């Protein structure tokens, strides 16, 4: 039964994960809307997950640690998205804005 390990070389998958991470990094750094920044962070977490699953599949497919690690990353990402969005809502209530540039009362 042909599988992905024969059809697609590992560097390709890692390059995809790296590219996704860089796109997410660009989004997180350049967006003004705080929710937009959070979208970039979610992309980065997905890229990390692809990396983990690729390494699991290509190097040690019979050990379950790779998938477990990826599941924990998904769990933590969900928890962090929940709290981040709650904070965004709280900031919106206090300052009527979600523009990251305007929440600058600590700026020197």
Q: What is the C-alpha separation between 17 and 11, in angstroms, rounded?
A: 10
Nearer Cβ to other proteins (7/106): 7
Q: Determine, following the binding rule CB under 8 A, whether residue 94 of this chain makes contact with other proteins.
A: no
Quote the least distance from Cβ 17 to other proteins, whole Å. 9
Binding mask 60-79 for other proteins (x = CB under 8 A): -xxxxx-xx-xxx-xxxxxx
Q: How far is the CB of 69 from other proteins (least distance, A)?
A: 9
What phi and psi values does residue 44 have, to the nearest 5 degrees?
A: -65, -40
């Amino acid at each position: 039964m042909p599988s992905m390990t024969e059809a697609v070389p590992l560097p390709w998958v890692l390059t995809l994960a790296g590219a996704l991470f860089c796109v997410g990094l660009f989004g997180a750094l350049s967006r003004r809307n705080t929710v937009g920044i959070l979208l970039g962070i979610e992309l980065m977490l997905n890229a990390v997950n692809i990396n983990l699953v690729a390494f699991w599949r290509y190097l040690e497919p019979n050990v379950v640690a790779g998938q477990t690690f990826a599941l924990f990353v998904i769990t933590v990402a969900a928890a962090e998205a929940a709290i981040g969005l709650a904070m965004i809502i709280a900031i919106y209530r206090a300052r009527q804005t979600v523009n990251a540039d305007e929440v600058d009362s600590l700026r020197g």
